Amino acid sequence: MAVRGWGRSVATATGIAAGAGAAQLGLGYGLGIVAWLPSVDGGGEASWVASLAWATWITATSVVMGAVVADRLAPSPPNSEPSAGADPDRTPDSLLTASLWRLALAAAAAIGGMLTVALIAVPARSATRADTFSPQTIAAGYAMVGAVVGLLMAIWAVASRAAAANAIATVGWLWLLAVVAVIDSVISGTGLTSAQLGVWQITADSEQYWFRNIYLPGAALSLGSAFIIGAVSAWPAARDARRRVGAAISGGVGPVLIAAAYFLAAPRLVGPRAEQLSAHLLAPYAVIAGLAGSVLVTAIAQRLEMSRRQPATATDRDHDGASAADASADGRDDASGSGSAEGRDAPVPEQPTSGQVADAPARGTASVTGGGRPKPTTPDGS
């Protein structure tokens, strides 16, 4: 039964990863976000770099989503994180089982993500380039590297619910941003153009919005979104003391995928347009911003828990002190009451009256006469 359950989950991870990759590429091709254009001018070169970044990122995120969804749909997956009522002392066998479970789901999702390699390589043949005779091979290679990156991130996401939430929230946010950028370009009269990964030039092209090579509105959008997503996705796990380590570092999952896609697409920063260059330079700082958000909410959750525990401890201490005082007071009352009762109940010895003589003392002792003077006695009684 266990083997059957694992086989079903592995197949689910493969199918969901393949479906997620196909759905994302279909959306990208349909909106013109991913476009393999001939490299005859600067626009074609920028589109090539942007499409390579999208191809890498789509493949990686498809692998992560396949592994995470299959793990959540599994009937009884091994616990990768201790729950609120779980035993924190896990045996090595359970740790090994959880590790194998994560690795199996991630590997199966990576296999399913390989479907995007074909869906990327075939359309990429239209991207005629002077530096290579086979652009589809380069595009397919980037997709395969994205699958490897997704495999590593999937292991992390399956092990931490906060990391999985961060990755999925980042995917949703970037697609929303891309759709908004395309709609904005259509409204402005530019038409369907290749959108950049995580980039939307909100303002007009004016020098006042630029600081050297950094587009300031884009920087605020990129860093702010990474911080907010990192904080929001980490908060549920940060409230559990046994999940705080994973929650604290979960803010870097989504930004790391973006940074990897940008670095692989243009490692020497040759070919991107100005807004693309700004996004390339900001990608590492977005990772830091995401980590800052998750670390901040984890610290806040820990501080709130400590503040809740301190009044409770003080109340228990006061209650214990009052109980001890009451117990000692009861003891004193019992002691005094018992003593007085014993004093009242004890018989009082009778005192001889005047003129009476006490019992005869033993031989060799003195007796007291009525006058109060001792009279010696002799052995014969005289």
Instruction: List, as one string, the DSSP characters of 72-107.
Output: HHSSS---SS--TTS-S---HHHHHHHHHHHHHHHH
If you average pLDDT over residues 37-58, what whole number do you get? 80
3-state secondary structure string across 283-307: HHHHHHHHHHHHHHHHHHHHHHHHH
* pLDDT at 219 (0 to 100): 87
- Summarize pLDDT for 115-160 with one digit per residue, the tens: 999 999 999 888 777 777 788 899 999 999 999 999 999 999 999 9
If you average pLDDT over residues 77-95, what whole number do you get? 54
State the average pLDDT for the chain: 78
Instruction: List, as one string, the DSSP characters of 244-267.
Output: HHHHHHGGGHHHHHHHHHHHHH-T
User: Measuring CA to CA, how many Å separate 227 from each of 65, 219, 282, 291?
Assistant: 21, 12, 13, 7
* pLDDT at 97 (0 to 100): 84
* pLDDT at 48 (0 to 100): 85
If you average pLDDT over residues 334-350, what whole number do you get? 46
Q: How far apart are CA 268 and CA 106, in angstroms?
A: 30
* pLDDT at 204 (0 to 100): 64
Query: Is the pLDDT reported for residue 235 higher than 60?
Result: yes
pLDDT above 90 coverage of the chain, percent: 37
Total-model pTM: 0.75
* pLDDT at 195 (0 to 100): 74
| Choice between 200 and 162, residue whose per-residue pLDDT is larger | 162
Chain length of the chain: 382
- What count of other Cβ atoms lies within 10 Å of the Cβ of residue 190? 10
